[in-house]
Amino acid sequence: MRFNRLRDVADAQLTAEIKTSYGSDEVEGWSPWVGLKTADGGWTAPGQRGRYIKLHIKLPVSAPATIEIDKAALYALPQNRRPQLNDFRLLSPNFGLIPAPDSPPPAVVSLGQILQSGNKDDDSKQKNAFLGSQIVPSPGAQVVMWTVVDPDGDNVVCTFSIRRDGDDAWTDLAVKTHDPYVQFDTSHLPDGVYFTRLVATETDPRPAPDRLTTTFGTDDLVVDHTPPEILSATAKRDGDNLVVSIHGRDALSLLDGAEAVFNNGTRQQSEQPEDGIRDSREETFVLEVPLARVAGASSVEVTLYDAVGNSSSKRIGW
């Protein structure tokens, strides 16, 4: 505890006592009064634990009436709490990340920036700069990003690992990184479902014996390089329309849509399956095309897409 200013009273004349409690009850749960000792221009009582305090200040009767005691500031070592995972995301595959550089400080600082700077920590500034990163097509790339915070403001490093379903060993893809993301190439990984985990560990300035580690079991990663299978595809006249039906199945990913390209240049897509719910690895997509639009066409190439961008095609006639 420190006072902003003491006037006409010596430190030795002021006596301070403290008691603590984990609850807010005014009567019960309080520790005995403990005297604070003077230290480095303040008063300290090491080893006290609790969430609430009561403070008792005494002055001698002989103290002059001109005594001035300014406001006090109390400093306490917070309980060491574990890092928390606030956000975790697997971005769409086949897209790479170009991290944005840290933005330089503005050359001209306004009063508003000074007043607001106290409400923005370094982590939030870095996050805002990171969100300005570019996403570009990159076959085989996979980006994983997370937001880990420490309630006590400790620095945290993260290790991200994956393990294929059925295997026992974890593969570390990022080890003790300060970055809130990792990007890696999945083209060499076998198809399958991969478990993922994120291990967050406190680092300096927290003393090594007190550093806490938390392991988060995060979302499953699907690695799928195999295109979906077209089980059946038909094109039939129905009144004034040509009805194209594509039925297919994928081994790992949800089906995302179908496309029909006629040999007269007409193109039509559908992302709505026949049952109205795009929620399965086996779907049927139906496209109705007016006969006037396919005049002169004799065949159509149908393509089936899965959610990770794989596709398979088939040419049919009618």
What's the rounded mean pLDDT across residues 92-97?
91
Residues 6+ apart with CB under 8 A from 123: 149
Residue 118 has pLDDT above 60, yes or no: no
- Judge residue 30's burial from the number of C-beta atoms within 10 Å of its C-beta, 0-12 exposed, 13-18 middle, 19 or more buried: middle
What's the rounded mean pLDDT across residues 56-74?
89
In the chain, helix, strand, coil percent, each to 5?
Answer: 10, 50, 45
Name the pLDDT band for 124 (thresholds 50, 70, 90). low
Residue 111 has pLDDT above 60, yes or no: yes
DSSP assignment of 82-112 = PPEEEEEEEPPSSEEEEPPPPPPPPSS--HH
Taking alpha carbons only, the member of 161, 149, 162 closest to residue 202 is 149
Q: How far apart are CA 9 and CA 191, in angstroms?
A: 77
Q: What is each CA distance from 15 to 3, 44, 57, 299, in whole angstroms?
A: 13, 11, 6, 97
Name the pLDDT band for 203 (thresholds 50, 70, 90). very high
Residue 9 has pLDDT above 90, yes or no: no
Q: How far apart are CA 308 and CA 226, in angstroms?
A: 10
Residue spans of beta strands (DSSP E) within 14-155: 15-21, 34-35, 37-39, 42-44, 52-58, 68-69, 72-73, 84-90, 95-98, 134-137, 141-149
Q: Which of 150-154, 163-167, 220-224 has the lowest average pLDDT?
A: 150-154
What's the rounded mean pLDDT across residues 80-105?
88
Please give the domain boundaries of the chain with CATH numbers for all domains. Answer: 2-73 (no CATH), 84-103+121-223 (2.60.40.10), 229-317 (2.60.40.10)
Check residue 95 and give its pLDDT: 92
What's the rounded mean pLDDT across residues 216-226?
96
Name the pLDDT band for 286 (thresholds 50, 70, 90). very high
Residue 114 has pLDDT above 90, yes or no: no
* 29-40 tens-digit pLDDT: 999 999 999 888
What's the rounded mean pLDDT across residues 109-122?
65
Check residue 6 and give its pLDDT: 86
What's the rounded mean pLDDT across residues 97-122?
69
Taking alpha carbons only, the member of 50, 40, 38, 57 closest to residue 77 is 50
Check residue 123 and give its pLDDT: 60
Look up residue 20 and give its two tokens.
């603590």
Q: What torsion do the CA atoms of 125, 129, 131, 133 make, to the nearest 10 degrees?
A: -170
